[in-house]
Structure 1
């Protein structure tokens, strides 16, 4: 019997569930909006129950913060998220109550980072940022996620304010003007009153946003020295944004340390629609299955 592996990319806006084979190829998937926890997770359970008997493990990459410490009383919980109804919810407990399978639990950005590593096996280290409704980042060295007491929360690092943006208080409910508060998608509308897709490319708000994202890349470069930094998420899906970030990065780093050519060093994901998270989850589920055998 061929073994199947499951992936849940639990995003703040939507859930993407998928089943893949031992070659990490997607065989079937389903996408649905992120609603109340019980309703959303029940849809995930119903999807995976179609594959009972062949499905041997699942990996979950979730929006955060989450508790990934397997020795913690709240392991598997979504913790202090501002997303309504999801705070302190036992996601893995809900899933395991109906799907008696080995499960691996991490952040969505860690799943994406792992997927990018699988897709480029020559890489030993990378950092993956998602710049969308929120901002998160995962870092990987070898086959290990960077983190100690918990997962990284680089989306909430503090950044130097752009001189033309000093009056904007930021939109993060916890920190105001942290990276997420000044550079995530909602910050565009919070500043201008206009949704990002309707803002002219000539507006300087894009350069302001790129200034903050470039700072995150400089910080990651100086603290972790990765071989590559990858930017996913809806904000960075716009080609003009990557060009702006590279330009700002070059000016901010000011040749302090050597980095590869920026067209290779600062990149978008290897595959569209954040499917690197699904590939990463398949690989993590496969690894968890082999550990539990």
Structure 2
């Protein structure tokens, strides 16, 4: 999940800038504005324009000072990055030179106990990136044990999902589970010791957060729309933080670059020539944070960066 250091420097900032290569006069989207770290760096590197999208109204409010610092060059847009096509079209933007997405939850959200994303400090069991829709407390209160277990396994890859779901159902029959501390305590009480040192509630909290915010669906929609908006030479740079996110990004970029293995020679689809790839991979393998960054910010350890570039007509025809 997306994290920042105490000064809110975003993960893999140098690699993002090197891959995105901002240039003067060009138009970029930061689809996960958060604390504005990527946006600020892009605007400082080149005399360009950035449209910064975030579904969290708090992030948009925090960005006002940065927008004032870059008048006419930074435009803040409250909304989901999976709706960037409509959000930008409404504002007269139909093509982009680059898009950067820093997936998951921001450190501002994690570190604010009132948002209910973390078990490190007790707070309301919320987890919503925006103020709309069901909260994590709503899911914990109403989902049947089987559905709850499936959710924890699918989005948290939690192998003890059924044991945890049963414990939640028993606990909520006695009293509503309304805080992060209550839920973490219930999970800790039924989990075997983990030698890795990972908190026993980590995977379950991740699963609930992903479900509450439809994070994986948003990623799929955002990747498709970002690719459609890129003009020839435009670049899409994505930083992901767990295997579920990275799997989606890897599959999308591999397919877009025509790198997916073809059908079996016995499959009739193999008789149809594949369409010419519209994109090329900028990262054959995912980039990882360097040792210096990991030493300064251990939260970056799970980060993976992947990127692609839209080809121009001559490259496609070649």
Q: TM-score, normalised by structure 1?
A: 0.31
Q: Answer 1 or 2: which has greater strand percent.
A: 1
Q: Answer 1 or 2: which has greater helix percent.
A: 2
Q: Select the structure of larger CA radius of gyration.
A: 2
